[in-house]
Amino acid sequence: MKLFNSYTRRKETFIPLEGKTVKMYVCGITPYDTTHLGHAFTYVFFDTLKRFLEYLGYKVLYTQNVTDIDDDILKKAAEENKDWKKLGKYWTNRFLMDMKSLNVLIPTHYVKATDSITLMIYIIKVLLDKNYAYQKNGNVYFEVKKFESYGKLSHFNKNQMLCISKERGGYPDDPLKKNPLDFVLWQSANRRDKNEPFWESPWGRGRPGWHIECTAMALSTLSEQTISGERSRTIDIHGGGRDLIFPHHESEIAQSESYTGKAPFVKYWLHTSMVLYEGEKMSKSLGNLVMISDLLKRFSPNVIRYVLLSHYYRLPWEFEDIELEIAQKSIKLIEEALSLKTDFKMKKIEDTYFKKFESCMNNDMDTPSALTNATRTAKKIIRDGKKFDVLKLQTSLREMLKVLGFIF
């Protein structure tokens, strides 16, 4: 099996660190709004990757987080005059319902950021002790110049980093920073806002920064990291949307490798590309969203999943409604092939279709080609069903569909 590693920028043969066990971490949602097609593209892909790895005989330990404390949640809660905890819980449950509808399996660990704050504080203490971080007015910042290879994942230059950091909540203009690219590990509570949540820390009341949350949750669930122990291992696969490469994943690498003293933090970085709609990236900020809940009112989960997997995970694509109609025809074709019965008996023909399917999936999870192969198998069954004993082909088709996460 070959996977494209965003870190090395090439396809690499996948070799897990620990025999037949694969440790995978995928950045989850910030729950302040509903699930759109861009979310589903990422999580259906990693669900399919998990299924295929398990088909290959691996045991997959899969952690997905939910960022339940964040500036966006607090802003949304204030706008709607709602409790931030209740808001986050409501949208988390809606997200999980949508994923369940699309037959996305529950990860091994589904963890909230607020359940790991004690470990985050401990990690920040260690980074301060190692002189990778500094305090200023109740805030704690990671000092990027102390991590010489900062930028090794994104390959951005300083000007690119500053521009993107400003767009994605990095606050490069923060006057308390030594360097505009330094990122916050702990931020002081706003004493003027009584509704803003806080936790006690050695640096005063506050809450964690975004990046440190994922380091703590990844290490605690996949590396058997505890406050009392220093056991830490590299993670096999870390995934998420391509827009997380910088600053989020870049900063995760810096703080994680500085904390553990071990590199690399992640062996294979996998990133899904952007989903566009009406000429723009589908995003909450732009409001050009196609909601999963709305699509499910018109089409089956199989149809929606077919549309998502018909696009190669590393290429951006623009959603058009006609795709759903095309996918629906393919699903009906597959249903017809699976329901076909024949009384014709002879030696079972050699099945090369499943080998082609495996080849597609082994080639960096080429799900569009795998789906095309499945559809061709269905056409073969319908076309030759009265000439051959098609049971073997039907069995192969069912196995392909199972690996791809469809339910028939």
| Mean pLDDT calculated for residue range 315-336 | 97
> Percentage of the chain surpassing pLDDT 70?
94
Backbone angles phi, psi at 363, to 5 degrees: -90, 70
Whether pLDDT at 226 is above 60: no
pLDDT band at 322 (very low <50, low <70, confident <90, very high): very high
Q: How confident is the model at residue 191 (pLDDT cuts 50, 70, 90)?
A: low
The alpha-helical segments, DSSP class H, found in 130-261 are 158-167, 210-222, 250-260
**pLDDT surpasses 50 at 4:** yes
Instruction: Note the pLDDT of residue 264.
Output: 93
The residue with greater pLDDT, 287 or 11, is 11
Residues in the chain: 408
Q: H or E element: which one contains 283?
A: none
Rg (CA), the chain: 23
269 φ, ψ (degrees, to nearest 5): -100, 125
Per-residue pLDDT band at 66 (split at 50, 70, 90):
very high
Block residue for tokens 């990122």: 183
Greater confidence (366 vs 277) lies with: 366
Asked whether the beta carbons of 181 and 162 are under 8 A apart, the reply is yes
Q: What is the C-alpha separation between 364 and 343, in angstroms, rounded?
A: 39
d(CA 10, CA 270): 11
- Evaluate whether 133 touches 140 at the Cβ level (below 8 Å): yes
Q: Are 245 and 289 in contact (CB under 8 A)?
A: no
Give me the domains of the chain, ranges plus CATH numbers. 2-272 (3.40.50.620), 322-403 (1.20.120.640)
pTM of the model as a whole: 0.94
Reply yes or no on whether the pLDDT at 346 is more than 60. Answer: no
